Amino acid sequence: MALISIIENFKPKNDEKLLRRAEQLRPVIYRKKVKPAGVFRLKDRYSREIVSIPGNTFQDIVLGKGDNICLDFGDHHVGRLFLELAGKGSHPDAPAFIKLKFAETLAELSENSMEYDGWVSSSWIQEEYIHADTLPAAVSPRRRYAFRYLKITVIDTSPKYKLTISDVFINTETSADDKAVLPAYKGDEELSAIYSMCQRTIRNCMQEVFEDGPKRDRRLWTGDLRLQALANYATYGNNDLVKRCLYLFAGSRFPDGKVAACVFTDPEPAADDTCIYDYMLFFAAALCEYFEETGDREALKDLYGIAQEQIDIALRTVDANGIVHGEELGTVFVDWSEGLHKDAAAQGILIYAVGYAVKLALHNGDRKRAEYLEKKNNLFRSAARKYFWDSDRACFVSGGQAALATQVWMVLAGCASGEEAAAIFERADDFSCECTMMTPYMHHYYIMALLSCGRKEQALGHIRWYWGSMVKAGFDTCPETWVPEDPSASPYGGTAVNSYCHAWSCTPVWILKKYF
């Protein structure tokens, strides 16, 4: 399922007051120098076979045409590379031509980017081709990269000389202040490892905004922000960064007032011409949770009307039977699951978001609005039971499909609760067979649905199974998509553009602290 929107001559509606406030909240970027922790090479350029290097030091390695060297920086980092090259042999009579490949995982090192043919642009693949006309040479690519491993391949030098590496390091970048980080979750070894992986993920995605992933997209998405903010509250507490992101979404919107699915920040803030139904609705949830975390009346006053406007826009897609038609506004995302029927999930998401809008109204002293929305929600829940509940199967069905994602959103919407909801999740494996959840984003909401109906042990067991499988697979940070039974799964047509540090995946840092 490609997610691409192109609106000709799209011009977002900008609110300069809100954008100025967002600019005032631009964070400090913290930097740190990191040197390689290990060195090895691949047997061949695209081989998966690793060859160790005696002495484990890069300065002694001499590289000729076709040779490669791989540097391991110990953990996943986001930052800028500095590389110092020198020649060995006769005076260099031709440029040194090298390829740099930045990899978040070991598997990426051996991927041949020329074989990628997916729908997401290959320009996101983290590679640089560099000519060094004279040696010694200081090489520092202008782009920021997200990686743990760096493969340097010598495309060519000349017969007169070979190449050596005098020095190499990363200047890391993040707006997460390690001195301000809150105490880590103290669980058993497995849960502590999961927590550490998730904390590193949110840290590396905290830049001038909450980036969805520092490798690919590298921008602010509404659905991601809601989960990133929760992770932030449990770790770094950089609440001004959450506020900045909320103001950016409010400050640059669709001409009709819709909050865009994502916002660009360079060279200046600008809403993308993409509307995702569920993401638009999560703006109200994110603002509500931010206010409950901070008590920030300024943000509530400035953004309340915009949050409620998103609800009103969504209400226009509800038919006379009380059933939502979210695709009228754009894409209904839910998850990357191929073949997922989304009508019931969209219904549940609207009810869920309206619930947050009710709480926002009460926080703002707007009781009349709260009562109006609560009446709407009662109607929507009744419609959901009438049109999506299958009494024979004792579950919710959408388009003939009883997917786990459908059950999750119906339960989170309150269309089933207590023992009835718990009984649904006793059969979770059956629903998973109909349509597998593909993203940690969707697995987060599954955990929340389990907790909402008292299945706390099942929720913790799922964290151990799902996020624990990431740790066992060797991830330093949480991947964007993850199917334990199919590690190479990708919604983009190839793993070369998969993101392996994605902040919508790191919510166990918040769940573990809040519920366990």
* Rounded Cα–Cα distance for residues 434 and 425 (Å): 14
pLDDT digits (tens, 9 = 90+) for 124-147: 999 999 999 999 999 999 999 999
pLDDT at 45: 86
User: What is the residue-averaged pLDDT of the chain?
Assistant: 96
For residue 51, give the H/E element and its range: strand 50-52
**404-413 mean pLDDT:** 98
pLDDT digits (tens, 9 = 90+) for 349-397: 999 999 999 999 999 999 999 999 999 999 999 999 999 999 999 999 9
Contact 157, 163 (CB under 8 A): yes
Of the candidates 46, 45, 137, 150, the residue with the CA atom closest to the CA atom of residue 96: 137
Of the candidates 256, 227, 252, 257, the residue with the CA atom closest to the CA atom of residue 242: 227
pLDDT at 1: 58
* Rounded Cα–Cα distance for residues 193 and 185 (Å): 10
* DSSP conformation letters of 411-437: HHTTSS-HHHHHHHHHTHHHHHHHS--
Q: Which residue has the tokens 């320009």?
A: 123
Q: Is the pLDDT of residue 56 over 80?
A: no
pLDDT at 86: 96
Instruction: Kindly provide the b/e burial profile for residues 431-470, where b requires at least 16 CB atoms within 10 angstroms of the residue's own CB.
Output: beebbbbbbbbbbbbbbbbbbbbebeebbbebbbebbbeb
pLDDT digits (tens, 9 = 90+) for 94-108: 999 999 999 999 999
Q: For residues 362, 368, 369 and 375, what is the CA-based torsion angle, rounded to 10 degrees?
A: 100
pLDDT at 54: 79
* Rounded Cα–Cα distance for residues 283 and 299 (Å): 13
Q: For residue 267, is the peptide bond before it cis, meaning its omega torsion is within 30 degrees of 0?
A: yes
Q: Is the pLDDT of residue 176 over 80?
A: yes
Query: Around Cβ 316, how many Cβ atoms within 10 Å?
Result: 9
DSSP state of 366: -
Q: Is the pLDDT of residue 187 over 90?
A: no
Count of CA atoms in the C-beta half-sphere (13 A) of 98: 28
Contact 226, 349 (CB under 8 A): no
Residue 6 pLDDT grade (very low, low, confident, very high; cuts 50, 70, 90): confident
**285-305 mean pLDDT:** 98
Helix/strand/coil for 112: coil
Count of CA atoms in the C-beta half-sphere (13 A) of 144: 18
Q: Which residue has the tokens 């309150």?
A: 414
Residue ranges of domains in the chain:
13-27+195-515, 30-174
Residue 330 pLDDT grade (very low, low, confident, very high; cuts 50, 70, 90): confident
**497-501 mean pLDDT:** 97
More confident residue, 5 or 258: 258
CATH 1.50.10.10 fits 13-27+195-515, yes or no: yes
Q: For residue 491, is the peptide bond before it cis, meaning its omega torsion is within 30 degrees of 0?
A: no
Q: Is the pLDDT of residue 304 over 70?
A: yes
Residue 128: beta bridge partners? 100
* Rounded Cα–Cα distance for residues 250 and 244 (Å): 10
162: Cβ contacts below 8 Å, ≥ 6 apart: 62, 63, 64, 87, 88, 89
Residue 460 has φ and ψ, to the nearest 5°, of: -65, -40
For residue 168, give the H/E element and its range: strand 161-174
Q: Is the pLDDT of residue 432 over 90?
A: no
Helix, strand, coil content of the chain in percent (nearest 5) = 40, 20, 40
Q: What is the CATH number of domain 30-174?
A: 2.60.120.260
Q: Which residue has the tokens 């880590």?
A: 184
Of the candidates 441, 395, 480, 466, the residue with the CA atom closest to the CA atom of residue 146: 480
For residue 345, give the H/E element and its range: helix 343-363
Residue 380 has φ and ψ, to the nearest 5°, of: -65, -35
* Rounded Cα–Cα distance for residues 242 and 285 (Å): 13
Tokens for 240?
Answer: 């001004």
Residue 2 pLDDT grade (very low, low, confident, very high; cuts 50, 70, 90): low
Residue 109 Cα distances to 140, 148, 153, 499, angstroms? 20, 10, 11, 14
pLDDT digits (tens, 9 = 90+) for 437-478: 999 999 999 999 999 999 999 999 999 999 999 999 999 999
pLDDT at 471: 98
